[in-house]
Structure 1
């Protein structure tokens, strides 16, 4: 068994057991018939390897796999991690699968094409992650695109949030004691100081961001019901790749699909709606309808002035 193939095995085993409980023979057949095993020219998979993989899956992904439940020799996933850990696991598995495909085939550049736009600032990610876990005060310079100014910041880092392939630091600015977000791509001269902050903040970011779309004003706490009417064509895409975890399909006609959301109508969400043009229409609330209508009017006016 190839030593660098273990992550792919873990991903395949989890995928198999998530679809249905399976015996060792069924797991073995599934693995050996997978394209991953065929490409790697792996011809066998032993019970001993399965037992070792199960232990490692438990350690790495916090997933418990058992068998012999009520005289049943099938393996099954006995416990699932918390939602936030499960999201992390999903990202990790996706990364492993892509990475393994690239490592197995050096000629991947002839077949796999990545987005050419790359986010910047990721070189700060682990330093900030370390600072958050250890409650270290952080210093940096932050650039504001709107006023085109660089300002010095001293913050208490609390969390990291991803939005549309960009990462943001969530931190309390010591200057005004306000919770703010800072784009990692706009951070320069980062310094994680030896000094720890003693404040015990009680923010529940899991709850805070549950109703957020993209990056939001962190002082906002007014999620509301939003209903979108989507053309059949666009609705199928949104159905298969939901815009937000609160998305619910509430109505369907031969021409349209209606979706309901419960979230903050942030700037990012308004921009997402506008990006669909005539394919998506806001039905409620009235305040969001007015904002979208004003944005469309402003865009038309900008073209008229030319």
Structure 2
């Protein structure tokens, strides 16, 4: 392995280690509610992340605290009255979803497993391969407002293309990580899957995140990761029968989902979104249950579209009799 490649590998390893330390620190303080630096240091010496059992220097603690504020917008404050207790400012926000909740839940489970070695083989996870190589580097570029030089190969191209883009936000969906980035060549926002990135380099070029860019608003009317402006957001009404109603109730397809009509054997669910191909495929996934029926009531064009998909499936799966 070349010296430059070893250096890059070491840099990625160090970045991943720091990322884990940041999340460990947030999780430790959050679960404690109020905790002194001495207590944090004691827990750090017992942590599975601390392979050597070394102490946590106060300077390192403050560096971590500042990095956490910049990277995750989580403020670790200190109450100097009665013993210098550290706490998470607005800790109630941790229970409202988003990256903070995801980070804490993920780390809490991982930490519990590491501390209970005999349970490791009994707890199974879905793997997200795309997050292993480039996620930390992209988050750091977002933090530092630096553009990325990306070599990217989509499923529709035989060869990768290389370009420069400004990373605005990242999102995980269906076991894949995606980055929303603005191309420096045409100022257009595009969505790139991390598992299709071949090479990635953080440039020295800075960018300014537009004040009016809101990641939540950007995806608000979309199902999953598809932001296809050729589909206009509109009301979609779907009748669902059978046990599938329970699945939609416990795991809504979209933030706008509402159960507006409830009957003995069926319910009507309403959505306001772009009825993209991804959303149509999701409806078909639920319709595959033999004990369930899904009927699109509105809009009419989507009802016709879903009917045609069903007819195409029937035609493709016709059983042709064999001549004796």
The normalised TM-score by structure 2 is 0.66
Q: Distance in 1 between matches of 2:252 and 2:285?
A: 15
Q: Report the Cα distance in structure 2 between the residues aligned to 1:159 and 1:7, rounded to whole angstroms.
A: 23
1:145-294 matches, cutoff 5 A? 145-197=155-207, 200=210, 202-217=212-227, 219=229, 222-277=232-287, 278-294=292-308
After superposition, the Cα gap between the structure-2 partners of 1:170 and 1:9, relative to the gap in structure 1 and judged at 3 Å, is closer
Q: Distance in 2 between matches of 1:202 and 1:220?
A: 22
* Equivalent residue, structure 2, for 1:27: none
Match of 1:126 among 136, 140, 151: 136
Alpha-carbon shift at residue 110 of structure 1 (Å): 4.0
- Once residues 303 and 131 of structure 1 are traced to their aligned partners in structure 2, the CA distance between those partners, rounded to angstroms, is 49
Is 134-143 or 147-156 further displaced after alignment? Answer: 147-156
Count of aligned residue pairs for this structure pair: 245
The aligned residue for residue 102 of structure 1 is 113
- 2:98 corresponds in structure 1 to 87
Write the distance in 2 (CA, Å) between the matches of 1:5 and 1:206: 26
Would you say the 8 A contact 1:226–1:284 is kept in 2? yes
Unpaired runs of 5+ in structure 1?
A: 14-50, 64-78
In structure 1, what is the Cα distance between the partners aligned to 2:180 and 2:88? 31
CA distance in 2 between partners of 1:268 and 1:287 (Å)? 16
Give 1:46-57 correspondences, 5 Å limit: 56-57=86-87
**Which residue is 2:4 aligned to?**
none
**Deviations, residues 72-129 of structure 1 (Å, cap 9, x unaligned):** xxxxxxx64796xx422321332133223312321214422233x5432532112111
Q: What SS does the aligned partner of 1:144 have?
A: coil
SS at match of 1:147: coil
1:111 alignment partner in structure 2:
122
- Are 2:317 and 1:303 aligned? yes
SS in 1 for 2:141: helix
Shift, 1:292, TM fit: 1.8
Counterpart-to-counterpart distance in 1, 2:307 and 2:263: 25
Question: Partners in 1 of 2:98 and 2:155 — Cα distance?
Answer: 31
Aligned equivalents of 1:125 and 1:217: distance in 2?
A: 21
- Contact 1:8–1:96 under 8 Å retained in 2: no
**Does the 8 A contact of 1:211 with 1:223 survive in 2?**
yes
In structure 2, how many angstroms separate the alpha carbons of the residues matched to 1:240 and 1:94?
Answer: 19
Distance 1:118 1:125, change over 3 A: closer
How has the CA–CA distance of structure 1 residues 148 and 297 changed in structure 2, closer, same or farther, with 3 Å as cutoff? farther
TM-score normalised to the size of structure 1? 0.69
Partner residue of 2:88 out of 58, 77, 83:
58
- 1:137 paired with 2:172, answer no
Contact 1:11 1:93 in 2 (8 A): no
C-alpha contact (below 8 Å) 2:286/2:294 kept by paired residues: yes
Alpha-carbon contact 1:139-1:193 (below 8 Å) kept: yes
